Copies of this chain bind each other. A is one copy, B any other.
Amino acid sequence: MELQAQQPTEEGGSIQAAGSSNRWAPTPPQLRILKGLYYDKGFKYPTPEQNQEICLHLKQYGQIEDKNVFFSFQNLKARERQKLKEFRNVRVGGSLDLNFGSTSSTDDGRSIDLNFGSTGSTSTDRSIDLNFGSRVGYGVDGSIMEQRGEYHQEIETLPLFPMHGEDIFGNMKTTSEGGSGYGGGSRISLEPSLNSYGNADIA
């Protein structure tokens, strides 16, 4: 493991104004939508294409990049697990032999889904509805907090499965993500399947 010096690295390309943090900070709408997708819709395994769509949509609410969406889902998933389970930090093949007995062999590790899991489509409506419930109860500790009844909820629908390459927003900026072209269905130089579809058996 090489040490990573995450120095600020004053790169001139920071989107943020000088002085602000370099790392992305989700705006409330962005956060709400992302969490709603994950929790309310049970949408946990977005493909890169879907990430792009989500990102594109969320750009209405502030600066955001694809990787932010990607990391959001990754972290949501990881932390949900850590919360539901018990701070697992498993390391296989460790030298520190703390192997006490061999009890607790009922390892699950992947049954913590709420429900949903409908990565498919509703036959007629092939879009992810972003109008999830308004109640947010996903505190870090399960604490229930009330939500201000003031916030307006914008009704929106994000197409997750573009049929013809055109989204409902008229945003066709696909294939212009930097030349890599990992999205848009034209993955040429990338690995076969990097999305988590292969192991979406958690549902």
List 9 A–B pairs whose Cβ atoms lie within 8 Å, in order of A's numbering.
Answer: A48-B196, A91-B183, A94-B137, A96-B128, A101-B124, A104-B179, A107-B181, A108-B178, A191-B194
Looking at chain A's contact residues, the main secondary structure is: loop
Indicate whether A164 reaches chain B with its CB closer than 8 angstroms.
no
Question: A93 → chain B, closest Cβ, in Å?
Answer: 5
Which A residues have a C-beta under 8 Å from some C-beta of B?
A: 1, 7-15, 17, 22, 25, 28, 31-32, 35, 46-53, 63, 65-67, 70, 85-109, 124-126, 128-129, 135-141, 143, 145, 147, 167-169, 171, 173-174, 176-188, 190-197, 199-203
Given A31-B11, A100-B168, A101-B124: A182 touches B90 (CB 8 Å cut-off): yes
Q: Which residues of B contact A47 (CB under 8 A)?
A: 89-91, 94, 96, 98
Given A47-B91, A96-B47, A98-B128: A201 touches B182 (CB 8 Å cut-off): no
